[in-house]
Structure 1
Amino acid sequence: MTLKALFLNTRQRFISICQPLQTEDYSVQPEIFVSPPKWHLAHSTWFFEQFVLCEFKASYKCYDEDFAYLFNSYYNNAGTRVLRPNRGLMTRPTVDEVYKYRSYIDEHMLDFLSEDLTNEVKAVIHLGIQHEQQHQELFYYDIKYILGHQPTFPKLKNAIDLAEIDQPAKWIKIEEGLYDIGYEGDGFCYDNELGRHKAFLQDFEIADQLVTNEEYIGFINDGGYKNFNLWHAEGWDFIQKNDTNAPEYWHQVDGIWHQYTLSGFQKVNGKQPVSQLSFYEAYAFAEWKGMRLPTEFEWEVASNQFQYGQLWEWTNSAYLPYPNFAKAPGALGEYNGKFMINQMVLRGASVATVEAHSRPTYRNFFHPEMRWQFSGIRLVK
């Protein structure tokens, strides 16, 4: 696929997945970590305007000078911005205006993509495409949170669902040894995947399946959320403070566990993988089983021997730079490097992940208390 076709496909996909929304859905921000769909649509568009058109297209005229302030996310080098908790307060610009903004940028980008571009420019455009694809996945997290905290639990027409796990987990043996870690190849990767290096691993066994809802209900029924011995101190404080006793979106109705999915409110399917868990919960479940979570290096080495892609999988690795990691200069250097503290790595992909983001070396990362992302558990013993 040409760069121009990839750009157009990515931009059209975001429009497509937003089609089931009502106008009122676009501007809601029920929590600080949730961004309104309208903001995602505008921010991913601003990225191309700020880092491609304004930077490299001499004849380009900015759509609206205020949009850089309204739709910048965390790029300090790109100027001031609306604070993240205030994204849901913006009823203006309207949804219609944001779509006009997207059309304006698309028109100029497609014209620009017809020119003879340098490798430097192509690399920035590739990053912008990958960036928008990330926001398409974040859209699913956010719209599920928005709809899942409404009284009637509305459905989303283009819902994505988890497949059942029909067989008990088998254990994959990985021998002790020195292994290569990190991205190698000519395709796209993020800077946090670079710095290919060797890691020594002790021998271990890793499950070929994710933990299921049925298994997790066993943890709940055995008092898992009441036994402080299973939890990190910080995790125990978190579940006490937030009165947490089940995964996100779970509700007990007449003694039976139900959950909100994008297909609606329904009984928990025991055969599906358990999802919407914090790192704290994943760790506590592993403790209850007398096992542990894999490190990100263990996961990467073993990943060619099991299927992944239903849920991002928590690892027991802090998000840190690889050897010789170097941030790019300017605003684009803020993409990953400045977040390498107080976060845990997740590996794999989820049902909401665009295919291009599914590779063994991809390093996703979240704070350990976060549960709104599509996250699950794979065990090691």
Structure 2
Amino acid sequence: MLTEPSIATSLLKRFLDVRQATMQFCAPLTPEDLMVQSCPEASPVKWHLAHTSWFFETFVLGEFVAAYQPYHPDFRWLFNSYYKSLGEMPEKKLRASFSRPPLDQILAYRRHVDTAITRLLEHAPQDEALRRIVLGLEHEQQHLELIATDIKHALFTNPLHPAYVAAPANFGGDSAQIAPPLDWFSFSPGYPVRPGVVEIGVTPDPTAIDSFAFDNETPRHPVYLAPFRLASRLTTCAEYLAFIDENGYSRPELWLSEGWDTMRAEGWQAPLYWQRDANTKSGWSVYTLHGFRPLDEISETPVCHLSFFEADAFARWAGHRLPSEFEWEFVAAQQPIEGNLLEQESLHPSSATTTAKPHAPQQLFGDVWEWTQSPYTGYPRYKPLPGALGEYNGKFMSSQIVLRGGSCVTPKAHIRATYRNFFSPGTRWQFSGLRLARDGAS
């Protein structure tokens, strides 16, 4: 079956927009910035620019364009990330040593791939080629977000602590505004038709080739949820500071065993990017993509760059818990996808407002990825994609925790209520925070 011309045309526009968005985000960076790899989880921006092109070349052009000539034979293994069925690849920790190929060649590689994908879309490709391009665009948007998180860590580790860009006028929201008091919304899923039973996930329509969900969001299936309550907004920096001031990092009864050991071994005393600062009222400053800011200035914004262990310890200290990913999805699926996402260009979480809808939780999308209490596993009857693409999500379903909702550096077109992000519980370099939950509907 061949793709309808209108679908291919609209996809071409989206392809060019997504690829341009990546380059636009990189515009403020120097060639030297693009080479830095400052922590094991991160990659140099230059590598991201090459790898996203590698994905299109490997999984689209190499399989659906008979006469396609790869840009460089070494790029097939050099910019492979973790697809072991495709052969060997350099160790991730060595990516900062890729001074060659030079940046000019990486940019030429991107143009080479862009031209080839454009030609493919102009000639009504097969449906499977189209699906692969859509997957490649979702993959590129994931890496755009990773570029933001990786460059933040890279600039923070620079002794000069340079800003990525200057702060916008409304950075963090109205600095004089106090976040609205924490309230609770009650949910009794499935009542009265099927008490406690809800449908979670998505079963893609095979005929809707321009729609998308990752394989780990499938299939749609029933889940039992007891009545629960969800906090009206995200936890703020001021609230987390209270946890610190009450010796939250010195109370083992609040921490999971692995979390306590990790926290002690790493010397955590506060979220990542918080530093002691005697010149501020709170005693802290926080590094952002706009440089260091006094915590007093952003204390009403959601706390971010927390590990799962820290989020869980805070919830215990507060007398509550983290929501399950299913509770979160049940609530978020009823709300529009709007919030502080990448397109708002704040590049930092914004404070909740008193003008939001009074009958639904705020900040479900954007601001920070919300840690849940749910382990990252496959849904019932989950099947990974065939071939090497099956390594995209499925092989990581071990020792990971699910996060939901996107962040201030997530593209709006990339997030949805069923989206499942996942990281190991000690991860802090992502824009990750928390929302509280508790049992019962009253």
The interval holding the TM-score normalised by the smaller chain is over 0.9
Task: Indicate the larger mover: 156-165 or 54-63.
Answer: 156-165
Report percent identity of matched pairs.
Answer: 45
Superposition pairs of residues 1-150 of structure 1, within 5 angstroms: 2-150=10-158
Aligned residue in 2 for 1:288:
317
SS in 2 for 1:135: helix
TM-fit CA distance, 1:184: 4.8
Aligned residue in 2 for 1:201:
225
Does structure 1 residue 183 correspond to structure 2 residue 193?
Answer: no
CA distance in structure 1 between the aligned counterparts of 2:85 and 2:127, rounded to whole angstroms: 23
Which stretches of structure 1, 4 residues or longer, exceed 3 Å deviation after superposition?
A: 158-165
- Which of 237, 243, 252 is the equivalent residue of 1:228? 252
Does structure 1 residue 380 correspond to structure 2 residue 388?
Answer: no
CA distance in structure 1 between the aligned counterparts of 2:375 and 2:232, rounded to whole angstroms: 23
Task: Indicate the larger mover: 289-298 or 175-184.
Answer: 175-184
Aligned residue in 1 for 2:397:
340
Q: CA RMSD in A?
A: 1.4
- Asked if the contact 1:162/1:273 (under 8 Å) is kept, the reply is no
CA distances 1:195-243 after superposition (whole Å, capped 9, x unpaired): 1111111111100200000000000000000001100010000010011
CA distance in structure 2 between the aligned counterparts of 1:357 and 1:245, rounded to whole angstroms: 33
- Asked if the contact 1:311/1:350 (under 8 Å) is kept, the reply is yes
- Which of 262, 269, 281 is the equivalent residue of 2:289? 262
CA distance in structure 2 between the aligned counterparts of 1:81 and 1:110, rounded to whole angstroms: 28
CA distance in structure 2 between the aligned counterparts of 1:249 and 1:335, rounded to whole angstroms: 30
CA distances 1:109-139 after superposition (whole Å, capped 9, x unpaired): 1111101111111000100010000000000
CA distance in structure 2 between the aligned counterparts of 1:118 and 1:105, rounded to whole angstroms: 18
SS in 1 for 2:326: helix
Q: When the two structures are superposed, what TM-score results if normalisation uses the length of structure 2?
A: 0.84
Letter in 2 for 1:262: L
- Which of 177, 180, 188 is the equivalent residue of 1:167? 180
What 5-or-longer segments of structure 1 have no aligned partner? none
TM-fit CA distance, 1:266: 1.0
Aligned residue in 2 for 1:240:
264
Letter in 2 for 1:61: Q
Letter in 2 for 1:223: N
Q: When the two structures are superposed, what TM-score results if normalisation uses the length of structure 1?
A: 0.97
Task: Indicate the larger mover: 180-189 or 212-221.
Answer: 180-189
- Which of 296, 303, 306 is the equivalent residue of 2:361? 306
SS in 1 for 2:250: coil
CA distance in structure 2 between the aligned counterparts of 1:115 and 1:196, rounded to whole angstroms: 34
What 5-or-longer segments of structure 2 have no aligned partner? 1-8, 190-195, 335-359
Aligned residues: 381
CA distance in structure 1 between the aligned counterparts of 2:393 and 2:74, rounded to whole angstroms: 26
CA distances 1:41-60 after superposition (whole Å, capped 9, x unpaired): 00000001111111111111
CA distance in structure 2 between the aligned counterparts of 1:236 and 1:107, rounded to whole angstroms: 51
CA distance in structure 1 between the aligned counterparts of 2:144 and 2:287, rounded to whole angstroms: 20
Letter in 2 for 1:138: L
Task: Indicate the larger mover: 158-167 or 92-101.
Answer: 158-167
- Asked if the contact 1:20/1:158 (under 8 Å) is kept, the reply is no
- Asked if the contact 2:203/2:219 (under 8 Å) is kept, the reply is no
- Asked if the contact 1:192/1:325 (under 8 Å) is kept, the reply is yes
Give the direction of change, closer, same or farther, for the CA distance of 1:133–1:235 in structure 2 (3 Å limit). Answer: same
CA distance in structure 2 between the aligned counterparts of 1:99 and 1:229, rounded to whole angstroms: 52
CA distance in structure 1 between the aligned counterparts of 2:330 and 2:31, rounded to whole angstroms: 45
TM-fit CA distance, 1:157: 2.0
Letter in 2 for 1:284: A
Does structure 1 residue 271 correspond to structure 2 residue 290?
Answer: no
- Asked if the contact 2:234/2:302 (under 8 Å) is kept, the reply is yes
CA distance in structure 1 between the aligned counterparts of 2:84 and 2:361, rounded to whole angstroms: 40
SS in 2 for 1:23: coil
Give the direction of change, closer, same or farther, for the CA distance of 1:29–1:197 in structure 2 (3 Å limit). Answer: same
CA distance in structure 2 between the aligned counterparts of 1:209 and 1:134, rounded to whole angstroms: 25
Superposition pairs of residues 209-220 of structure 1, within 5 angstroms: 209-220=233-244
- Asked if the contact 1:230/1:284 (under 8 Å) is kept, the reply is yes
CA distance in structure 2 between the aligned counterparts of 1:158 and 1:222, rounded to whole angstroms: 34
CA distance in structure 2 between the aligned counterparts of 1:159 and 1:47, rounded to whole angstroms: 33
